[in-house]
């Protein structure tokens, strides 16, 4: 339960960044070929866009969607 809450908070911070950083949603929309309004409707980054957006956001895929991309154990 605690791990799920941590993952949800992390996802929320990604979406807050996308929505809050001026001009970021339109850049993302152009990069993946959708409208900025479509990006604004996201609750979380769709899995099919994580790998494209990771370098744009300067984040690892597992930081964007930890529920799908698990951190590698060393």
CA proximity to 42, closest of 11, 73, 69: 11
Assess if residue 73 is contained within a domain.
no
Assess if residue 72 is contained within a domain.
no
Please count the structural domains in the chain. 1
62 contact partners, CB below 8 Å, separation of at least 6: 69, 70, 71
Q: What is the pLDDT of residue 20?
A: 86
| Average confidence (pLDDT) over 20-32 | 92
Assess if residue 28 is contained within a domain.
yes
The pTM of this model reads 0.74
pLDDT at 8 over 70: no
CA separation for the pair 66, 12 (Å, rounded): 12
Q: Distance from CA of residue 4 to its chain's centroid?
A: 16
């Amino acid at each position: 339960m605690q791990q799920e809450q941590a993952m949800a908070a992390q996802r929320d911070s990604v979406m807050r960044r996308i929505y809050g950083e001026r001009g970021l949603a339109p850049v993302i929309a152009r990069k993946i070929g959708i409208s900025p309004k479509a990006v604004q409707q996201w609750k979380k980054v769709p899995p099919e866009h994580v790998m494209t957006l990771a370098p744009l956001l300067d984040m690892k895929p597992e930081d964007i969607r930890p529920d799908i991309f698990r951190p590698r154990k060393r």
